[in-house]
Amino acid sequence: MAVKTLTINDQLISARSSETILQAAQDAGIHIPTLCYLKGLSEVGACRLCLVEIAGSNKLVPACVTLVAEGMSVNTNTERLQKYRRTIVSMLFAEGNHICSVCVANDNCELQDLAIEMGMDHVPLEYQFPRRQVDISHERFGVDHNRCVLCTRCVRVCDEIEGAHTWDMAGRGKNSHVITDLNQPWGTSDTCTSCGKCVNACPTGAIFNKGSSVGEMVHHRERIEFIVTAREKKQWSV
C-alpha cells in the first residue's frame, strides 16, 4: 500500500494513502475536535468540527472524509478554525435544549467537553427553545430529542454494526430529527434488538438508559470499535 508524506501543524508524518487526515493526525497524536466521528463507524462529515486548512486552498475541508495526499500541508488549529468551531458549538447549544445541570450525561458529554475545549463560558446566540419530544416507550432505553445533535451515530451503529437499521433520519432543516422504524414510538419497534449500541454511541444524553439520574449516564463508546476490530480479526466464531 502506498505511503504518503505530509505535514500537519508543521510536523512531518507518514500515512497510508487510504487514510484520512483525521486518522493520520490521530496516529501522530495530533488532536482534531470531532462530534459525528466515532471509530468503527463510517465517516459522514456532518458536524464540521473537524474542518482543517490545507495550504494552497481557500476552502476548509472536513478531516474525517478527506484523504491524505503527498506533500499536503495541513493546519488544524488556526484562529480561523477556532472561530468556526466555537460558532458551530454555539449553534448546537442554541438550536437545542441543552441544560447540562439536569442532564443524565453531565460530565460525560462530548458536546459539553467541546464547549470547555473551545473556552466557551456562554452561548452568544439567541436560544431557539424548540418544542421536542421525549420517548420513553422502550422497556430499557429512552430518547430525548431536546439533547440530540443529529450526529447520526445511532443511525450508523444500528445499521452498520447491529444490522437492524431501526434508526433513521426524518424531516428537513430545523425539523430534522431521528426516528425509529416508520416514525413510531421506540417501544413499538419491530426491528430493535435492545442491544444498546445506540446508547453507547450517542455523544450526548439524547439516548439514555432508563432510570439514570443527573450525571449517572456512562457511555462505553470504545465498545463499538472493539466489536468492529474483533469481527475483522475473526476473533469470534458463530
> pLDDT tens across 173-187, in order?
989 999 999 999 999
Predicted local confidence at residue 216, as pLDDT:
84
| Helix runs in 47-125, H state only | 79-95, 110-117
Return the CA Rg of the chain.
19
Q: Do 94 and 43 sit in the same domain of this protein?
A: no
Q: Do 98 and 180 sit in the same domain of this protein?
A: yes
Average pLDDT by stretches of 10, the chain with 238 residues: 92 96 97 96 96 96 97 97 97 94 93 95 93 96 97 97 97 94 96 96 96 84 86 74
Q: CB–CB of 92/120 below 8 Å?
A: no
Predicted local confidence at residue 154, as pLDDT:
98
Is there a domain that residue 238 lies in? no
Q: How far apart are CA 16 and CA 236, in angstroms?
A: 28
Q: Do 51 and 128 sit in the same domain of this protein?
A: no
SS3 assignment, position 67? strand
Which residue range(s) make up the domain with 129?
83-232
Q: Do 15 and 67 sit in the same domain of this protein?
A: yes
Is there a domain that residue 237 lies in? no
Q: Do 57 and 98 sit in the same domain of this protein?
A: no
Predicted local confidence at residue 238, as pLDDT:
54
- Total number of domains in the chain: 2
State the pTM of this model: 0.92
Strands 207-209 and 3-8: unpaired
Identity of the amino acid at 55: A
Q: Do 52 and 168 sit in the same domain of this protein?
A: no
Is there a domain that residue 197 lies in? yes
Q: Given 56, 76, 96, which residue is the final one in a domain?
A: 76
Q: Do 136 and 164 sit in the same domain of this protein?
A: yes
Predicted local confidence at residue 75, as pLDDT:
98
Q: How far apart are CA 137 and CA 116, in angstroms?
A: 33
